[in-house]
Amino acid sequence: MSVRIGVVVFPGSNCDTDAMHALALEGAEPVALWHESPDLHGVAGVILPGGFSYGDYLRAGALARFSPVMRSVADLAGRGGLVLGICNGFQVLAEAGLVPGALVRNRSLRFVCREVTLVPERLDSPFTVALGERRPLRMPVAHGEGCYVADDASLDAVERDGRVLFRYAHADGSPALDPADPANPNGSLHGIAGVANDAGNVAGLMPHPERAVEGILGSDDGRAIMASMVRSAHARAAAGGPVRVVGGRL
């Protein structure tokens, strides 16, 4: 039986269909979740897709975090369910306090839309288990507020606890740690492209894996990330569904 994974649709979402297609490629049953409804329809995991929720008015993700569906997403996350925010979805998760740090204007103060390289920092998270090895991955970014920042204490904790999942990198896989490095598309601190929460079941990622799932798109490197979530959600559902995680570490 295929696992059901929800994809939230906000006003302004534009990658929801891409995310549902990517999930279907991995054998999951994608379920569209309307932002005004708190009903998650029994899904085993949720993706918050890219786009411009509420037109990015006020601040990217700042309005979407108050949508009725987000209360249910937070509850699912608190019970150990998997949640992945991609691009604008990452911004929503950060605004909701479900992942550490914040996303601010790109260092260039310009919208960036191009292919980037990133590398996984760990292969044992629910969002990286299908990667198999630490290798450079190519996929696109498209954002104006993708610069990852955090205060010194939070940044130290993220690094110490192994909550960095992906970093921007050069073609050879060496990480672009310097915010001014051209391989770092938005000036993110420590080259951070993706992070997880303390329990490891909620993650935010600025690049778009759902736009890199077939060779015809220029890269299928994102497919392993989507496969990781599907595989992990299926395993958790088979084990009896999400369980509450208290003070866990990735």
| Residue ranges of domains in the chain | 4-238
Whole-prediction pTM? 0.94
- Tell me if residue 34 falls in helix, strand or coil: strand
pLDDT tens digits along 55-114: 998 899 999 999 999 999 999 999 999 999 999 999 999 999 999 999 999 999 999 999
Q: Please choose, from the candidates 214, 135, 202, 215, the residue with its C-alpha nearest in 3D space to the C-alpha of residue 175.
A: 135
CA–CA gap between residue 85 and residue 195 (Å, rounded): 10
71: three-class secondary structure by DSSP: helix
pLDDT tens-digit readout, 176-234: 999 999 999 999 999 999 999 999 999 999 999 999 999 999 999 999 999 999 999 99
Find where tokens 């993700």 sit: 61
- Report helix angle 223-238 to 16-25, nearest 10: 70
Nearest to 195 by CA among 250, 243, 117: 250
Cα Dmax for the chain: 47
Q: What is the CA radius of gyration of the chain?
A: 16
Residue 167's nearest CA partner among 152, 153, 178, 156 is 178
Amino acid at 76: L
Task: Indicate the class that CATH gives domain 4-238.
Answer: alpha beta
Is residue 225 within 8 Å of 232, Cβ to Cβ?
A: no
Supply the residues annotated as catalytic: 87, 208, 210
